[in-house]
Chain A
Amino acid sequence: AQSVAQPEDQVNVAEGNPLTVKCTYSVSGNPYLFWYVQYPNRGLQFLLKYITGDNLVKGSYGFEAEFNKSQTSFHLKKPSALVSDSALYFCAVRVGMTTDSWGKLQFGAGTQVVVTP
């Protein structure tokens, strides 16, 4: 079965420090990986995706993610965290693609990021 795992329920970081949110994947074939962020009482906001190409993907709000095939990981990173980055972060993989369907997103359990001033 294709899936993603987020091993940390919560990540705590001080403002200005680097932020890393971990994600590992298990897929057959080429993985299509995504990061979304969810603020309280808000929808999921797309941050970035990896489909193919450069292993380092740059996204919105200063976030980037590194695709590592040998370690089957797709960690989200930000060099300098802001208090406003405090939110719930989801890693997702697209599964179930066929000739008739783009498939759907299968999400990890989510990681709560808390950035303290």
Chain B
Amino acid sequence: AAGVIQSPRHLIKEKRETATLKCYPIPRHDTVYWYQQGPGQDPQFLISFYEKMQSDKGSIPDRFSAQQFSDYHSELNMSSLELGDSALYFCASSQGPLAVEEETQYFGPGTRLLVL
């Protein structure tokens, strides 16, 4: 079965550079979530989109922005990168809004970002 695709899988950047992470949801999934997982930590919610509109926002820095496009893929743009941004960034997708019982988030393999 098709899964969530994230690119790139690994990314190395210098401080103050910018980075763009891409997420391609499972076909027919219209909701996308972004999470950040620091070393040894649990994933933290950043932002989500439903039908190309932002639906929820978590602890996402102002230096980060994201959007969902007409084909439902999403991009997370990160500017003025800091050492602390080094983390694993997950994208998840779901098919919503169905009945709440139906909504399950399926995660991609993640993008590992290292800021030097």
Contact = CB atoms under 8 A, between A and B. Distances in A.
Interface of A: 32, 34, 36, 42-46, 49, 51-52, 90, 94, 96-97, 100-110
Nearest to A30: B100
B108 to A, nearest CB: 5
B7 interface: no
Nearest to A49: B104
Contacts of B64: none
Contacts of A108: 42
Contacts of A36: 107
Interface of B: 4, 31, 33, 35, 41-45, 48, 50, 55-56, 58, 90, 92, 94, 96-97, 100-101, 103-110
B42 A51 contact: no
19 contacts: A32-B100, A42-B109, A43-B4, A44-B92, A45-B107, A46-B106, A97-B100, A101-B50, A101-B55, A102-B31, A102-B100, A104-B33, A104-B48, A104-B56, A105-B33, A107-B44, A108-B42, A109-B42, A110-B42
